[in-house]
Chains A and B, each alone.
Chain A
């Protein structure tokens, strides 16, 4: 009935980029603020240090920095991009959205631009939407960014949360490709458990640690395995597993259940903390930068967080 693009091609990641604030906050620094210690933090969440943004770093500015690096790394000009998606749940102002401002500051003229709030699963959701847009012909090149300033939403007197959360951004450019370099997204939610992670008093991140731990360590490996199956990838083919960097014990517990002992497991949380939707692209970008993920590597991602929401897909490293 209508004309629609007939471009049944693939989508693939072209490049990554990342940004971390310069301010390093160690566990020793936190010992000065709240009743805690390095041994407790490392044994419970696996974090040694994290980056905390100053007033000059915002969700938008960090997204611009990460997005700009992804464009440069992929050899892309601003005019090549026709869609910008920013996954975030920590913007100060809901209006206007972050994506349009990010695009303008990168010199990308009049792209489609919207934000995604799927909490810590945001990047996997945004990547899934970006891949679908490219495969359907709605966009040629998409800039996908996860950017979070969680430090604005942390009660710095609450030792159960302030040791976990951090700030940063990670980005990827998704482009049309002959081969499928991004597998089908497997996503879902469990809104009946919305009370497990939320903003206490509308201001401070709160989570029921035991409930979240049980959920993540008993249910989510099935989502990850389904993403592999949907893409036709065997666990033995995985180069790496890059889940949301929520807590090292959660990361390692899920990894053990995948049946992929050869896969490198992202442990970016140790030095980056939990950066919500930024954690997966940040980890990917840093791992690529260190040479841990050669071109062609097959990587399984798994995002999960407040909602509860979750999403997974396999990607091929450019």
Chain B
């Protein structure tokens, strides 16, 4: 099932709020997880697990290092 970019962005906003407490409005496509959202490597795993539950797309650990921005995750889920 394909998800729209808006749906994924909104979903990621909810996930990130739950995991690190960031306001969903702060989660915009150009944001870097590490530099802008203060999300570390372990929180990225939690986001990947939650995104898998929400969107049904597995994000393996060896791909996490390539997902630097919110847009990267959106693209990964949409591809």
Q: Which of B46, B48, B61 contacts A208 (CB 8 A)?
A: B61
**B44 within 8 A of partner (CB):** yes
Check: A92 CB closer than 8 A to any chain B CB.
Answer: no
Q: Could you mark each residue 210-229 of chain A with 1 if its beta carbon is under 8 Å from any beta carbon of chain B, else 0?
A: 11011001100000000000
Give a binary string over A192-218; 1 marks a CB under 8 Å from any B CB, 0 the rest. Answer: 000000000000000011110110011
| Pick from A43, A44, A210: contact of B45, CB under 8 Å | A210
- Chain A residues within 8 Å of B42, by CB: 44, 209-210, 213, 249
Secondary structure at the A interface, as helix, strand, loop or mixed, is helix
Count of interface residues, chain B, beta-carbon cutoff 8 Å: 10
- Contact status B45-A217, CB under 8 Å: yes
Given contacts A208-B61, A210-B64, contact A217 B49 (CB under 8 A): yes
B28 at interface (Cβ–Cβ under 8 A)? no
Smallest Cβ distance from A304 to chain B, in angstroms? 16
Number of A-B contacts (CB under 8 A): 25
A side interface size, CB within 8 A: 12
Known: A208-B61, A211-B61. A43 touches B40 (CB 8 A): yes
The A-contacting residues of B in range 25-72, CB under 8 angstroms, are 40-42, 44-46, 48-49, 61, 64
**Across-interface contacts of A43 in B (CB, < 8 A):** 40
Q: How far is the CB of A141 from chain B (nearest CB, A)?
A: 42
In whole Å, how far is A256's beta carbon from the nearest beta carbon of chain B?
11
- A-side contacts of B64, CB under 8 Å: 210
**Contacts of A208 on B, CB cut-off 8 Å?**
61
In contact, A210 and B49 (Cβ under 8 angstroms):
no
CA–CA, A124 and B48, complex, Å: 30
Show 24 A/B contacts (Cβ-Cβ < 8 Å), sorted by A.
A43-B40, A44-B40, A44-B42, A208-B61, A209-B41, A209-B42, A210-B41, A210-B42, A210-B44, A210-B45, A210-B61, A210-B64, A211-B61, A213-B42, A214-B45, A214-B48, A214-B49, A214-B61, A217-B45, A217-B46, A217-B49, A218-B49, A249-B42, A253-B46
